[in-house]
Amino acid sequence: VARTAAVAERLHADDVWVEAELGEIGGKDGVHSATARTDPAEAAEYVRATGVDALAVAVGSSHAMTSRTATLDQDLISRLRQAVDV
């Protein structure tokens, strides 16, 4: 968190937009679970503490998807939107 906050502060000084990832986002390499989900309260605290402009969240999809088989957690997406304003 401290490192991300420092990076965001430095880049914002140069008008650079910062995206971060909290926890793990599912990936094609099998390392990350496709069932991983971002907790809205944790996401809100992370954004507040770091000052990032965008947050990559885990809601049922994964990086580098080669098919359209993901089932997005619409309820979680709504709760994240309410909790996090980025």
Whether residue 31 has pLDDT greater than 70 = no
Q: CA 33 to CA 36: how far, in whole Å?
A: 5
Q: Which whole number is the average pLDDT over 8-27?
A: 87
Annotate the chain with three-state secondary structure. Answer: CHHHHHHHHHHHHCCCCCEEECCCCECCCCCCCCCCCCCHHHHHHHHHHHCCCEEECCCCCECCCCCCCCCCCHHHHHHHHHHCCC
Q: Is the pTM of this model over 0.85?
A: no
**Interatomic CA distance for residues 39 and 33, integer angstroms:** 15
Taking CA 6 as the corner, what is the angle to CA 81 and CA 11, rounded to the nearest 5 degrees? Answer: 80
Say yes or no to pLDDT of 29 above 60.
Answer: no
